[in-house]
Amino acid sequence: MITIDLEKIANEIGILQQKHADKLIIIRDTVIIIEETGNIHTRDDVEKIVNTINELINGRLREYLSSRVEISNIVHIVGIIHSTGSSKGKSVHYIASVNRELQKRYRSYSIALLSPASCDRDLVNKLRKLNIEIG
């Protein structure tokens, strides 16, 4: 398992010029994109994850990572908002709609945007349902 702090990369190298998620976790053929937030702002948080997915698949983030870690075998991409605030009642329909659009755009990848996780245990449980163990 490899964890990458996207804030550090963005600040040090400046490869992410637009809004982006906070963290990547790479496990075998899966990349987990995590947007950490106190209070969920669904559209803005999802936009950060989508921008990061685009950079991972076609952008400078892919170039940066491929020179440092093995990413050529990536087939699964999971995006999730991890919040310390309440995630109840947040726009699950909006997240599902964006997820469908990403799946159409990037057919060669298995992409899943998950409903927000409200705590560390919730995050681990949501990923476990996809057979992804992070701790």
CA-angle at 41, arms to 33 and 52, nearest 5°: 25
Q: What is the greatest pairwise CA distance in the chain? A: 41
Q: What pLDDT is attached to residue 87?
A: 57
Q: 3-class DSSP state for residue 115?
A: coil
Q: What pLDDT is attached to residue 116?
A: 86
Q: What pLDDT is attached to residue 7?
A: 87
Q: CA dihedral defined by 32, 61, 96, 110, rounded to 10 degrees?
A: -60
| Range 89-107 average pLDDT | 87
Q: What is the pLDDT of residues 53-97, one digit of tens each?
A: 999 998 888 888 888 888 778 899 999 999 876 655 557 788 899
pLDDT at 12 over 80: no
Q: What pLDDT is attached to residue 88?
A: 58
Banded pLDDT at 16 (limits 50, 70, 90)? low
| Range 117-129 average pLDDT | 88
